Structure 1
């Protein structure tokens, strides 16, 4: 009986030690996994570490649609070239994504990044010298031509020296966009017939396009990608308007980064380079741009 009792007591003691070791191991593993994000980001620069620690990338995106860069589909889901690129950047950082859509203009997108209300601006943003005074721009991920969407009838009348209502001899640009700068810089690159036209600012691209199609104004000045999309997808657009590229003038489209976040800028530039090396830009172009030429 004493032998059996001793054996049972020994068994209880061993079992107790085993349970203690199990609990200790569980506690050690728990501490390890709780500290894992800290170890994982220990040597990462602060501007990138901030995003990883937060667990999401905040991207400034202009309110409204600007296809094929960003727009809502039939189910109100955001899609487009810029959307997929932003999602892929977040994926490579190992975080989620959130869009700050408080910007009512492209200039407002720049301000959101400048004021640290967003980590990046990805919104078909032209990298201009004036904008570069307040923020950093990545290497361009697209470089379309600058283009005019021209009213066909007014253009023919202009070429044939026919009488045209002088109020119609205007080229529209979107207010607070890079094209306000471009038209001042590049008017000398326009055809002789277009150099004496007046510039008119619009708050809404759709209104400007409607006025061009109706012959109220001569042209709308935009990037080639947007022009191609409109002419292909807007009903009757290819009948009433045509695209005319401005020779030698491109619109470098880049990602905006706060000037303080130099390490993040370097990483984004690496992403843009690898995007080209690995064919991601080709994939996105095939998906969103191939039918627009």
Structure 2
């Protein structure tokens, strides 16, 4: 009898222990279910007052009543600049206005960003819906925003100081020296050209300057051997100041390009798809030659 009683007690204790263990296990099932509900609500369609069903990121913009676009504070014609009438104009401005028009809201440009990288950071922080500001795709930016489809492609180019380059090259041919560049190259600080310079000219010494004008001046005075940027900016600068040809030489690359994209927040996937479709259906797709021709 004693043994039977002990066995019964052991059985009860075992069952109690199993029940105690089962409680935490059951509790652990709830968080994933709660997380799933949160995920579903985050992506749930939003019904507007006019009856339309919109994705949450699109509904946010429509309810806010405007599309906020982050753009660099300093002008970069022909992409974006203030004209004599005080109006913001340019190819990037046109794209931003087209996207806003298709969304049915006006556009507001946030020009608080002092550097190109800062434009992407404003979008990543949720302070703007889009970043459209002559922005190239970089690995650094790719860690905090989504890139739209390419809306324009710019080839790479160097403005080379003739005397400094001759000292560096010696008897070696131009192509050999450029591809294995070991001199100094000027780039704009906190821009895509810092990353492009490290990747495409690993043996060169990069020197960063606040503005493109300072980069060109450094190449002109021999402070650096070459200035590095896209072909449009290089050609435009030389065309505006033909005297530069006396001290600087232009070298363009057929196998290096800088694809320009809009920047979208990582959570705004429907907005990203929408922007891609606007770019794809755009009738007037700008090119380097067409933009340079319009400037002339």
Distance 2:83 2:246 in 1: 26
Q: Using the TM superposition, give the Cα deviation of residue 238 of structure 1 relative to its aligned residue in structure 2, in angstroms.
A: 3.7
Determine helix, strand or coil for the equivalent of 1:126.
Answer: coil
Q: Of the candidates 137, 148, 165, which is equivalent to residue 138 of structure 1?
A: 148
Distance 1:286 1:225 in 2: 9
Q: Using the TM superposition, give the Cα deviation of residue 124 of structure 1 relative to its aligned residue in structure 2, in angstroms.
A: 0.6
Match of 1:116 in 2: 126
| 1:159-201, Cα deviation, whole Å (9 max, x unpaired) | 4469xxxxx942111111111111111116xxxxxx5x42111
Match of 2:216 in 1: 209
Distance 1:217 1:285 in 2: 27
Match of 1:236 in 2: 243
Determine if the alignment matches structure 1 residue 38 to structure 2 residue 52.
Answer: no
Distance 1:108 1:141 in 2: 20
Q: Of the candidates 132, 147, 151, which is equivalent to residue 157 of structure 2?
A: 147
Distance 1:285 1:219 in 2: 22
Alignment of 1:165-180 (within 5 A): 169-180=183-194
Match of 1:288 in 2: 291
Q: Using the TM superposition, give the Cα deviation of residue 287 of structure 1 relative to its aligned residue in structure 2, in angstroms.
A: 5.8
Match of 1:11 in 2: none
Report if the CA contact (8 A) 1:229-1:292 is conserved: no
Match of 2:233 in 1: 226
| 1:132-176, Cα deviation, whole Å (9 max, x unpaired) | 1111000111111121122233334444469xxxxx942111111
Q: Using the TM superposition, give the Cα deviation of residue 112 of structure 1 relative to its aligned residue in structure 2, in angstroms.
A: 0.5
Match of 1:104 in 2: 114
Distance 1:238 1:38 in 2: 61
Q: Which runs of 5+ in 2 are unaligned?
A: 1-46, 173-181
Report if the CA contact (8 A) 2:48-2:54 is conserved: no
Q: Using the TM superposition, give the Cα deviation of residue 75 of structure 1 relative to its aligned residue in structure 2, in angstroms.
A: 3.4
Q: Using the TM superposition, give the Cα deviation of residue 57 of structure 1 relative to its aligned residue in structure 2, in angstroms.
A: 0.8
Report if the CA contact (8 A) 1:134-1:259 is conserved: yes
Q: Which moved more, 1:258-267 or 1:177-186?
A: 177-186
Distance 2:293 2:93 in 1: 17
Match of 1:14 in 2: none
Q: Using the TM superposition, give the Cα deviation of residue 285 of structure 1 relative to its aligned residue in structure 2, in angstroms.
A: 5.9
Report if the CA contact (8 A) 1:225-1:289 is conserved: yes
Alignment of 1:81-92 (within 5 A): 81-92=91-102
Q: Which moved more, 1:251-260 or 1:46-55?
A: 46-55
Q: Which runs of 5+ in 1 are unaligned?
A: 1-35, 163-167, 189-194
Report if the CA contact (8 A) 1:67-1:229 is conserved: no
Match of 2:137 in 1: 127
Report if the CA contact (8 A) 2:152-2:260 is conserved: yes
Report if the CA contact (8 A) 2:115-2:190 is conserved: yes
| Cα 1:209–1:185 shift into 2, 3 Å | same
Determine if the alignment matches structure 1 residue 199 to structure 2 residue 212.
Answer: no
Q: Using the TM superposition, give the Cα deviation of residue 208 of structure 1 relative to its aligned residue in structure 2, in angstroms.
A: 1.4
Determine helix, strand or coil for the equivalent of 2:53.
Answer: coil
Report if the CA contact (8 A) 2:232-2:288 is conserved: no
Determine if the alignment matches structure 1 residue 272 to structure 2 residue 279.
Answer: yes
Match of 2:34 in 1: none
Determine helix, strand or coil for the equivalent of 1:149.
Answer: strand
Structure 1 segments (4+ residues) deviating >6 Å: none
| Cα 1:198–1:86 shift into 2, 3 Å | same
